[in-house]
Amino acid sequence: MKPSTIKSDVYFIKLKGPQARRPCLQKLLQEIDPFSEYKKDEFIPVKLTIGDSRCIYHLSPELVKLVVAEIKKKKAKPFLFDTNVIYKGKRLNAVDHLTLAQNKGFSHSRVGAPFIIADGLVGHDGKEHKLESEYIEKIKLPSFIGMVDSLVVLSHVTCHILSGFAGSLKNVAMGMVCKPTKQALHSSLKPHVIEQKCASCGLCIEICPANAIELTTPTAGVTHPRGGGGKAAIDQSKCIGCGECLCACKFDAIFINWGEDHDVFAKRMIDAAQFILSKFKNKLFVNLAFDVAKECDCISTKNEKIVCQDIGILASKDIVALDKATLDLINKDEDIIYKEKSQTTHKTMLEYAHKKGLGNLSYNLIEL
């Protein structure tokens, strides 16, 4: 598919304080009327993430409720969904994931729609597909993908430890696949330990979902209350490249060779997103660019650094144009993403998405 040179429309509304989020989203949805093509009783999947148990900056139930209400005006049947993650935490399986969603306010009674875990109890329920990609051979997706015509993607914009930037592309590529595909997407990003910096604390061992890290034999006479004095070592044959150890280490003792690995990771994600989105006729992507944290909602806590002032809410039917416009607004004066993450994966991701025909890099920013 050849990349288009036509400009795509991206709708944008500025925010003036946290109290304006709800009325701004309401105004945006009412003015662009994105759900006009929905049919009575049509199932409408709404993709979102509720964030880790420690995260407070995730998309709020009140904003999700607005989107659900607008869909219901068309007599359609919306449902919220996400998939399980590959790292340890409250979203590793459907039981804990749904409990967390309930505790965070994403209940049917509060948002007006059910919340489902689309890849089943432990993240393996789905259908496998072959991809015509040099970067990833196959992909496993929740079974409903291909059964419905429409898709709504709600993304709380953040930085990200692997992709640099997490918007709609990241939300689709990583959030709409089953666990085996999540592991395949990460497989080129293998962390290594700098022994001189390792404090033998054992945090990386505790958090590793693949049990790929262990302490080497401790040096005689050297002990540590957690790890016993040995140095962390990563078994590359077991490592799935999720980056959790990189986040856990407080001593900068774990690194990833971004110059070698990040292009492959970005291109795998885009090839996955392209296949997923090809299964839907009607698509709407909404980026909520406020509380833009240095780490994504899977990692961030109430103490997380916010990297820029609140931008606003953006929406488009073109996922590439939307993420590009969001990045341009965040990086208005300087490349905030590069400043915070010291890598350019976000640029590779957008350029490759455009090359693959997933959307346009040129856009008309229509301010409401």
Report the CATH number at residue 212: 3.30.70.3270
According to the per-residue pLDDT averaged within each range, which of 98-107, 224-233, 244-253 is highest?
A: 98-107
What confidence category does residue 249 fall into, taking pLDDT thresholds of 50, 70 and 90? confident
What confidence category does residue 191 fall into, taking pLDDT thresholds of 50, 70 and 90? confident
Dihedral (C-alpha) 333, 56, 90, 96: value to the nearest 10 degrees? -130
Last residue of a domain, one of 238, 255, 272: 255
Q: Are residues 235 and 263 in the same domain?
A: no
Q: Which has more confidence, 223 or 88?
A: 88
What confidence category does residue 177 fall into, taking pLDDT thresholds of 50, 70 and 90? very high
3 in any annotated domain:
no
Q: Which has more confidence, 267 or 261?
A: 267
What confidence category does residue 250 fall into, taking pLDDT thresholds of 50, 70 and 90? confident
Burial group, residue 174, by CB count within 10 angstroms (0-12, 13-18, 19+): buried
Looking at the structure of the chain, the number of domains it has is 2
Q: Are residues 241 and 307 in the same domain?
A: no
Q: Are residues 147 and 208 in the same domain?
A: no
- Evaluate the CA torsion angle 175, 177, 179, 182 in order and state its sign: negative
Domain that holds residue 235: 190-255
pLDDT, the chain, mean: 90
- Taking only the tens place, the pLDDT of each residue in 224-242 is 444 456 899 999 888 887 7
274 in any annotated domain:
yes
Distance CA 73, CA 77 (A): 10
Q: Residue 29: enclosing H or E segment and its boundaries?
A: helix 21-32
Q: Is the pLDDT of residue 259 over 70?
A: no
What confidence category does residue 317 fall into, taking pLDDT thresholds of 50, 70 and 90? very high
What beta strand segments (E) does the chain contain? 8-14, 43-47, 77-82, 115-117, 127-130, 138-141, 150-156, 158-160, 164-166, 192-193, 213-215, 232-234, 254-255, 282-289, 312-316, 363-367
309 in any annotated domain:
yes
Q: For 280-320, give the DSSP string.
A: -SEEEEEEEESS-BSS-TTT--TTPPB-S---EEEEES-HH
Task: Write the CA distances from 125 to 44, 47, 84, 268, 345, integer angstroms.
Answer: 20, 17, 11, 21, 30
- Evaluate the CA torsion angle 318, 128, 52, 231 in order and state its sign: negative
Q: What percent of the chain has pLDDT over 90?
A: 68
